[in-house]
Amino acid sequence: MLPTLDIYFGDNLPILRQFADESFDLVYIDPPFNTGKVQKHTRIETVRDKDGDRVGFQGKRYKTITLGSMAFEDVFDDFLKMLEPRLREAYRILKPNGSFFLHIDYREAHYCRVLLDAMFGRESFLNEIIWAYDFGARSRSRWSAKHDNILWYAKNPEDYVFNYDEMDRIPYMAPGLVGKEKAARGKTPTDVWWHTIVATNGSERTGYPTQKPLGIIERIVKTHSRPGDTLVDFFAGSGTLGEAALRNERSAVLIDNNPEAMEVMARRLAFACPKWHGYEPASQPNPQMNLFDKSEEQ
């Protein structure tokens, strides 16, 4: 059976309540972090101009042209009050051997863990994964915060998916100490994942302010689910979970209430010809782009 993609527009809570109990193999969410700030990403390009505002290679001047920007307010008066009923729905729709991942940051991680311990049971908490990166501004008044927290819960701590052999391998920091064979094979990751953020000018970049790297989400998808499974992200943003699922033979359901996120996903995931619920994207995907259309091979 070929993987499918469903994208829902609207408040995720009433949408989640439409789904049957124990209907998803994996839940991953990346909710707003409650930073108290406006999250914004501005797209620009530069053109040669002798009176430009930028100086480049060999002293040549360039003018900055703003192509557009996306922003949302990452502020909640009561973050946990917003999140709690959605976490309860996540538990309800998760299959008995399914895993739940909450991607959060240091401001709310400890509060969320206490809340999730009460829902899943403390024995269901298996890992706090630290995604560490080294990019951006540095603080002059404290240690610069350069990591996110990913909390992993298994609904049944005695029965869950963990595909050890599907893990990507990473280089040894001191390959000379382990021998050529081990060095060539690489090692499996620990609970600290060093991975760069999405490059500002990289091909992966969609322009969405809080986009997460495909490499991080693919590691979760491949290790904690199987081909043919159905995954859900109800704070979908740029749709990274959807791309990771589809490219690894999993189906996905994505939910978001931001029209800008819908348009980003419409462009990014056009190859899968998604089924839309409650939204009509401005640019309809071309069916000929369908990655899963095998008609020509038949």
> 183 to each of 56, 169, 240, how far by Cα in Å?
40, 10, 31
- Position 147 pLDDT exceeds 70: yes
| Residues 244/146/196/257 CA torsion (nearest 10 deg) | 30
At residue 30 the predicted structure's pLDDT band, cuts being 50, 70 and 90, is very high
Spell out the residues 6+ positions from residue 115 whose beta carbon is closer than 8 angstroms to its own: 80, 83, 84, 87
Using the predicted structure, report yes or no on whether residue 73 has a pLDDT greater than 60: no
Looking at the chain, the whole-number percentage of residues with pLDDT higher than 90 is 69
Which positions ≥6 away from 80 have C-beta within 8 Å? Answer: 108, 111, 112, 115
Q: Residue 255: what are its φ and ψ, rounded to 5°?
A: -135, 135
Q: How confident is the model at residue 34 (pLDDT cuts 50, 70, 90)?
A: very low
What pLDDT, on the 0 to 100 scale, is given for residue 249? Answer: 98
Domain ranges of the chain: 5-43+70-289
Domain covering 5-43+70-289 in this structure, CATH number: 3.40.50.150
Cα 244 from Cα 152, distance rounded (Å): 18
**Does position 76 have pLDDT exceeding 70, yes or no?**
no
Higher model confidence: residue 144 or residue 34?
Answer: 144
Strands 147-154 and 94-104, bridge-based pairing: antiparallel
- For residue 183 the two structure tokens come to 């060095």
Say whether pLDDT at 186 is over 90: yes
| Residue 168 DSSP one-character state | P
CA 222 to chain CA centroid, Å, is 14
What mean pLDDT is predicted for residues 22-40?
75
DSSP 9: E
Q: Which of 182, 80, 194 is nearest to 148 (CA)?
A: 194
CB distance 156 to 123 below 8 Å: no
Q: What pLDDT digit, counting tens, does each position of 87-146 carry?
A: 999 999 999 999 999 999 998 899 999 999 999 999 999 999 999 998 888 999 999 999
Which amino acid belongs to residue 166?
E
Check residue 49 and give its pLDDT: 73
Token output for 33: 């972090």
Q: How far, in Å, are 103, 108, 128, 185, 241 from residue 148 at the CA level?
A: 7, 11, 10, 28, 17
**Tokens, residue 90:** 């996540």
Residue 101 in contact with residue 124, Cβ under 8 Å?
no
What number is the average pLDDT over the span 18-46? 72
Residue 89: φ, ψ to 5°: -65, -40
In this prediction, residue 26 carries a pLDDT of: 98
CB 144 within 8 A of CB 138: yes
The two structure tokens encoding residue 30: 């990346």
Burial of 41-78, coded b for 16+ CB within 10 Å and e otherwise, reads beeeeeeeeeeeeeeeeeeeebeeeeeeebebebebee
Strand 275-277 vs strand 94-104: parallel, antiparallel, or unpaired?
unpaired
pLDDT at position 201 is 72
